[in-house]
Chains A and B, each alone.
Chain A
Amino acid sequence: MEKYLYVALFAPLVGSLFSLLFTAQKKNVITALVTSGLLLLSFVSSLSLMYAVHSDMIIHVKMMDWISAGNLNLPFGFVVDNVSVVMMVTVTLVSSIVNIYSMGYMMHDKGYNRFFTYISAFVFSMLILVMSDNFIGLFIGWEGVGLCSYLLIGFWYEKDTASWAGNEAFIMNRVADLGMLMGLFLIYWQFGSFEYDVVFAHIGGINPAVVTTIGLLLFIGAMGKSAQFPFHTWLADAMEGPTPVSALIHAATMVTAGVYLIIRASALFSLVPEVGHVIATLGAFVAVFAASMALVNRDLKRIIAYSTLSQLGYMFVAAGLGAYWIALFHLMTHAFFKSLLFLGAGNIMHAMDDELDIKKMGGLFNAMPYTAILMAVASVALCGIYPFAGYFSKDMILAAAFNGGNYYIWAALFIGAGMTAFYSFRLIMMVFFGDKVYKKLGFHPHETYPFVLWTLLPLGILSTIAGFFEHPFEEFTTRLLSKYDFSFSHTTEIGLIFLTLTFVILVVLATIYKYGRGGFSKQIETMPLYILLKNQYFIPKIYETMIFRPYYVLSRFAWKQIDVRIIDFTVDLIAKILYLLGQRSRKMQSGNLSDMLRWMVVGIVVLLALAIFYRPGM
């Protein structure tokens, strides 16, 4: 079985290195083909691994020693178990689809080869992240995906905003990573190892306070990657990258790494429910907070990005409340429909020459029906309407919230669901229906290449039916993860489901109706709330003015004032003083003989005086 593991892991790397050779040359389809092939290969082997794992078999390999110093001995170890294999399958599947999709999307881009290099590199790092059997391995992947996202966000590096967004993403993640590192250090000095098995085996014997600290620190890391508040700004800006990237990295896979970390360390987090509670609360907050920003945004991709944020919020709620398998389930389903949504958006941009403002679209349905349908499916799934995938996962999260007795969390998620429904269909309506604004602006949209559409089909299907695997999935994952059983009666459950569902559907209908009538009137845009949301609660501005600028000013000060004016000046001052003393003492050499003689006599007189008046020990 191990060779499958190695294939799954290293196929993407091979692909990446292969296409790396071509980066210098101009566009060459072979890179795309090869990488796609290898990704598919990786996907296939992941599937077979899944099968293997399903037949109760956990593949655990130690490839080679990496670091060994002092008491630390750190091998490259990989484990394929019920959790990681799910991630592997999801990641490889989505990435293969995205990769193939990009063959069309990047068709005319001069960075064609480079793009596929990066994508495969990303998949490789992501796989390391999920397959590693120890925290450091996870951290390696963690940083690796960070790097790839940095490269891909800034893929069109000639665009200033793009490169800026890249830096922002990388640096913000770094901030969170520091927290995570501290957590890892703490783990090491507690357990003397980074390996999950060792750590979780001894976790019981540790002072709960310490466990809490570890939990919080790890969560900080998770917040960074999963763009939870207050680290959320980078994700919206990350939309500068090519759309497939947004689909793969900033929707389906990388951003969910935070959730994965929590699930991975469930053994740890389940010991400290209060930490879980913090996580859940923050998640719920983000779920609403992000959705609210999506309500008014006009940027096609940003809307979806915010919806991703809020969905991540949902996942964290689940993870925080100890419903780990549910979180994982939602993670998977979300990966399907959210990437589908993004890729659909990609088609639209492709059709509209990279126009993103949904106000400039409308009535695109006849121009690109298939895309429209696919996106509609994805949206429905996102809203969590039966029988689409989203329904099952999301609904359970709400249930879990209610079950835990955290009614305010439940309420938040409930409202979040409503908002989701609204913005999704606002988007659908404004893009595909209503009057054709784009005609006035002189766009000539058209459906993309058929093979691209075909590649989207599997995602479409999955977003539709994935939900029905709920029970096998639960059975499969809870072999490793703790079970989560609902305490409340069946009726309440039905009640809840009914409540949510109706609410969501009502919102959807309302939205369709409203926007069918041409949407809200202009004056709504003058409402303070609207402005607040439009400016993302002014948080980016606050960061700009409160952190970035002051830091630069402070740095200037440190350099110009402290370094040059004070420290270096003092150093030179010493030299200067000596030199001036030299100029003074030079006067003694007047060259005049009588002065010289005087000096001698002065010497005599002084010493004689000393001889008479100062005589210790005589």
Chain B
Amino acid sequence: MLDPITVNIASLNLALLTPMAVLAFGALALICIDLFVKDLSKSFFVMFTLLFILLDFTALIGINGPSRGFFDVLLVDGMSTLAQGVILISSALFIITALSNKPFKEFKKAEYYALFMFMIIGFQFMVATDNLVLIFLGLETASLSLYTLIALHNRNKAFEAAIKYFTMGALAAGFFAMASLILYTLTGSIELSVISKVLIARNFAPGAFVLAGVVFMLIALGFKLSIVPTHTWTPDVYEGSSAPLAGYMSVVPKIAGLVVAIRFFDIFLSSQIVWVQNILIFLAVITMTLANITALVQEDVKRMLAFSSIAHAGFVLTAIMVGGTQANSAIFLYWILFMFTNIGAFTMLWIARHKRNLWDTRYQHPFAKFSGMVKVSPMMATIFGIFMFTLAGMPPFSVFWGKLYLISSVVNSGHVVLAVIMVTNSAIAVYYYMKLIVYMFMKDPITEDGNIYEANSSTPIKVIVGITLFFTVTAAVFVQPILSFVTQMIQSSGY
């Protein structure tokens, strides 16, 4: 018979909820305002959202020390704080890109911003807990909002993208639920901490079922991280959605997914379950190789970048496999540095957004579009080039350092062969990044007027590019502070 539950407010430790709460309030407020005040301007929405994101951020910083709360459902440790930080920063960067030169329907809608904020909340919950329910909840909240945001772009491709993403998401949700069910059945708990205790106590018997749970979870998370074979949505969704959103998708949902993955797989890796290790290695290798190879033959820059982000995810997966402080810090270092560059790159595409598809019937940003760009707008070309080289892991730009530290962690864990495979992959990857550079710098220009490359640009967006570029180029200086901070946070949360 179930005994009644007594709750004492103090133990709820509601302070931990404030960041999400702030944002939730913001979202609701925005909708209400929209109801009463007609035709609010884009700028208002953006600034309003930005404001609340910043409030959220301050609230996040306000929380001190790792602690649990709300029936021990919330878990705010260093890692979650980090992840939330990343999420909020990139959200801030993203939302500003809405202030584009060209008008877009979605940016006029309050719902867009409200949904955006809800999505952020979703991700925040996802990373700020080790309870499967809450993870699931956050995941779905975020995803559902995200589907809608994509669809709001309001073009055929956007809908197609949304539907594809949605359907696969639904299936993934099913898998997640199944995974939770299996684990619950085995351990009688839906809290990862407890689950791990029980499993370890029982030495992971019965193996087949435990692993079955792992498999379902792997695929469910893999879908978020776009790990092969669940990656198929990525290029299509990126192509369908607006450039900045694509950039956002390649950073934020993944960091959230990564955190969950770290939390979940740590159970098995910390007690050397070889199977899990091997499977992760296998998937990581497949993911980066397949993505890189496929990226070689893409005609559209955005699709190419989509595959590249898959490859990057595969890259990071290796670190999850390795586990331990260095690896986990490596993940965050990598992702923070990757965030700036990637958002920068996608923003460049956003700037180059042009109403008519002049060069290709289907693609927005075919390579041909950029040929000879250096002649007509050298500045843009150079910046874009730098972003490309950075993504290729060219030293001394940002991603290189992440890569360095990440590979180092892999090497230190003794997986030298894996490390070799990784560098070989990055060598292959160079080709498709360089393809764009070749077009921009070595082909002859197809058009004389340079501003087609800046059709959609505006001061705020330029600022975004400036910021990202700055961090990309001068990364070498920031690596140390970031690294030490990240490491400290990771250690504090006991990974």
| A and B physically associate | yes
Binds A, one of B106-114, B210-218, B251-259: B210-218
Give complex CA distance A578, B291 in Å.
12
Q: Which of A39-47, A437-445, A449-457, A582-590 contacts B (4 or more CB under 8 A)?
A: A582-590
The digit string for B202-223, where 1 denotes a CB below 8 A from any CB of A, is: 0010011001101110110011
| Complex contacts, A583 vs chain B, CB 8 Å | 297
B164, closest chain A residue (CB): A593
Consensus secondary structure, chain B interface:
helix
On whether the beta carbons of B428 and A578 are closer than 8 Å, the reply is yes
Q: Is the CB of B296 within 8 A of A616?
A: no
User: Is residue A596 within 8 Å, beta carbon to beta carbon, of the partner chain?
Assistant: yes
Tell me which of A5-13, A246-254, A268-276, A601-609 binds B. Answer: A601-609
Determine whether B236 belongs to the interface, using a CB cutoff of 8 Å to chain A.
Answer: yes
Interface assignment of B278: CB less than 8 Å from any CB of chain A:
yes
Q: Are A616 and B229 closer than 8 Å at their CB atoms?
A: no
For B428, list chain A residues within 8 Å (CB): 578
Residues of B with C-beta under 8 A to A568: none
The A-contacting residues of B in range 229-285, CB under 8 angstroms, are 229-230, 232-233, 235-236, 272-275, 278-279
Find out whether the CB atom of A615 lies under 8 angstroms from the CB atom of B293: no
- A512 to B294 CA separation, bound complex (whole angstroms): 93
How close is A574's CB to chain B, nearest CB, in angstroms?
10
In the complex formed, the residue of B with least CB distance to A618 is B207
User: Within 8 Å of chain B (Cβ to Cβ): is A405?
Assistant: no
Task: Among B167, B175, B219, B297, point to the contact of A593 (Cβ < 8 A).
Answer: B167
A600 touches B168 (CB 8 A): yes
* B297/A586 in contact, CB under 8 A: yes
Do A579 and B229 touch (CB < 8 A)? Answer: no
Report if A611-B211 is in contact (Cβ < 8 Å); known contacts: A582-B293, A597-B171. yes
Q: With the chains together, A600 CA to B173 CA distance in Å? A: 12
Number of interface residues of B (CB under 8 A): 39
Size of A's binding interface in residues, CB under 8 A? 30
Q: Give which listed residue, B215, B222, B274, contacts A608 with CB less than 8 A.
A: B215
Tell yes or no: A612 within 8 A of B by CB.
Answer: yes
- Name which residue of chain B comes closest to A579, CB basis: B296
Report B-chain residues with C-beta under 8 Å of the C-beta of A599. Answer: 229-230, 232
B172 within 8 A of A: yes
Does B89 sit within 8 A of A, measured CB to CB?
no
Complex Cα spacing A455 to B275, Å? 101
Whether a CB of chain A sits under 8 angstroms from the CB of B163 is yes
* List of B residues within 8 angstroms of A607 by Cβ: 215, 218-219, 279
Q: A593 — which chain B residues lie within 8 A by C-beta?
A: 163-164, 167-168
B380 within 8 A of A: no
Interface membership of A591, Cβ < 8 A: yes
Q: Would you give the shortest CB distance from A616 to chain B, in whole angstroms?
A: 5
State in angstroms the CA–CA spacing of A4 and B273 once bound together.
Answer: 91
CB distance from A185 to the nearest CB of B (A): 42
When chains A and B are docked, how far (Å) is the Cα of A603 from the Cα of B225? 14
* B residues near A495, Cβ cutoff 8 Å: none
Are B235 and A581 within 8 A (Cβ)?
Answer: no
| CB-CB under 8 A for A589 and B232, given A597-B168, A617-B274 | yes
A604 touches B175 (CB 8 A): yes
B274 & A604 in contact (Cβ 8 Å cutoff)? no
A585 touches B275 (CB 8 A): no
A602 to B219, CA, bound (A): 10
List chain A residues, Cβ under 8 A from B30: none
- Within the assembled complex, what's the spacing in Å between the Cα atoms of A600 and B169? 11
Residues in A with CB closer than 8 Å to B195 are none
> Is A56 close to B, CB under 8 A?
no
Complex CA distance for A601 and B167, rounded to whole angstroms: 13
Residues of A within 8 A of B229 (CB): 599-600, 602-603
Q: Chain A residues near B177: list those with CB within 8 A.
A: none
With both chains docked as a complex, state the minimum distance between the C-beta of A577 and any C-beta of chain B, in angstroms.
10
Chain A residues positioned under 8 Å from B295 (CB to CB): 582
Q: Which residues of B contact A206 (CB under 8 A)?
A: none
Chain B residue at smallest Cβ distance from A600: B230
The verdict on A615 contacting B219 (CB below 8 Å), with A578-B428, A589-B232, A610-B279 known, is no
Contact partner, A616, options B175, B204, B214, B275, Cβ 8 Å: B275
Contact mask for chain B residues 87-106; partner A; CB cutoff 8 A; 1 contact, 0 none: 00000000000000000000
Residue of A nearest to B215 (CB): A607
User: Is B290 located at the chain interface by the 8 A CB criterion?
Assistant: yes
- Inter-chain contacts of B296 with A (CB < 8 A): 578-579, 582
Specify the chain A residue showing the minimal Cβ separation from B231: A599
The residues of B that contact A586 with a CB separation of less than 8 Å are 294, 297
Q: Are A611 and B214 in contact (CB under 8 A)?
A: yes
Q: Is the CB of B212 within 8 A of A585?
A: no
B275 touches A596 (CB 8 A): no
Q: Does A544 count as interface, using CB distance less than 8 angstroms?
A: no
C-alpha gap A593/B164 in the complex (Å): 6
Question: Are B215 and A604 closer than 8 Å at their CB atoms?
Answer: yes
CA of A382 to CA of B222 in the docked complex: distance in angstroms?
A: 99
Query: How far does the alpha carbon of A48 sit from the alpha carbon of B290 in the complex, in Å?
Result: 87
Instruction: Give the docked Cα–Cα distance between A579 and B294 (Å).
Output: 8
Does A611 contact B215, Cβ atoms closer than 8 Å?
yes
> In whole Å, how far is A604's beta carbon from the nearest beta carbon of chain B?
5
- Contact of A2 with B by CB under 8 A: no
* Chain A residues, CB < 8 A from B216: 604
Mask of B165-192 contacts with A, CB within 8 angstroms, 1/0: 0011001100100000000000000000
- Give the docked Cα–Cα distance between A553 and B398 (Å): 53
- Please pick, from A585, A601, A604, A618, the residue contacting B204 in the complex, using a CB distance under 8 A: A618
Are A582 and B297 neighbours in the complex by a CB distance under 8 Å? Answer: yes
User: Which interface residue of B218, B278, B296, B428 has the most chain A CB atoms within 10 A?
Assistant: B296
User: In whole Å, how far is B454's beta carbon from the nearest beta carbon of chain A?
Assistant: 31
Indicate which residue in A578, A600, A618 contacts B172 across the interface (CB closer than 8 Å): A600
Please state if A600 and B211 are interface contacts (CB–CB under 8 Å).
no
Residues of chain A contacted by B232 (CB below 8 angstroms): 588-589, 595-596, 599
Output the least CB separation between A586 and chain B (Å).
6
How far apart sit A612 and B210, CA to CA, in the bound complex (Å)?
Answer: 10
Cβ–Cβ < 8 Å partners of B167 in chain A: 593, 597
Max chain A Cβ within 10 angstroms of own Cβ: one of B236, B293, B295: B293
Tell me how far the C-beta of A18 lies from the nearest C-beta in chain B, rounded to whole angstroms. Answer: 52
A-chain residues with CB within 8 Å of residue B212 when the two chains form the complex: 608, 611
Task: List chain B residues, Cβ under 8 A from A602.
Answer: 229
A614: nearest chain-B partner, CB-CB: B275
Which has the most chain A C-beta neighbours within 10 Å: B207, B208, B222, B232?
B232
* Chain B residues closer than 8 Å to A611, beta-carbon distance: 207-208, 211-212, 214-215, 275
Within 8 A of A (CB), among B127-162: none
- Chain A residues, CB < 8 A from B204: 618
Given known A-B contacts A585-B294, A618-B204, A603 and B278 have beta carbons under 8 A apart: no
| A612, chain B: closest CB distance, angstroms | 5
B14-70 with Cβ < 8 A to chain A? none
Kindly state the separation between the CA atoms of A616 and B272 in the bound complex, as whole angstroms. Answer: 11
* C-alpha gap A589/B229 in the complex (Å): 11
Nearest-neighbor residue (CB-CB) of A617 within chain B: B274
Report the minimum CB–CB distance from B164 to chain A (whole Å): 5
Residues A603 and B168 in contact, CB atoms below 8 Å apart: no
Q: A600: which B residues are within 8 A, CB to CB?
A: 168, 171-172, 175, 219, 223, 229-230
- 1/0 contact string of B428-443 vs chain A (CB within 8 Å): 1000000000000000
Q: Which residues of B have CB within 8 Å of A591?
A: 236
- A548-583 interface mask toward B, CB cutoff 8 Å, 1 = contact, 0 = none? 000000000000000000000000000000110111
Establish whether residues A603 and B230, one from each chain, have CB atoms under 8 Å apart when the complex forms.
yes
Q: How far is the CA of A604 from the CA of B220 in the complex (A)?
A: 10
Bound Cα distance A599, B228 (Å):
9
- If A582-B293, A582-B297, A596-B233 touch, whether A603 touches B222 (CB-CB below 8 Å) is yes
15 A-B pairs in the complex with CB atoms less than 8 angstroms apart: A578-B293, A582-B295, A583-B297, A588-B290, A589-B232, A600-B175, A600-B230, A607-B219, A608-B215, A611-B212, A616-B274, A616-B275, A616-B278, A617-B273, A618-B211
Closest 8 CB pairs of A and B: A611-B211, A582-B297, A582-B296, A603-B229, A607-B215, A596-B232, A617-B274, A618-B207
Known pairs A611-B207, A612-B208, A615-B208; list 7 more (Cβ under 8 Å).
A581-B293, A588-B232, A593-B167, A593-B168, A615-B275, A618-B204, A618-B211
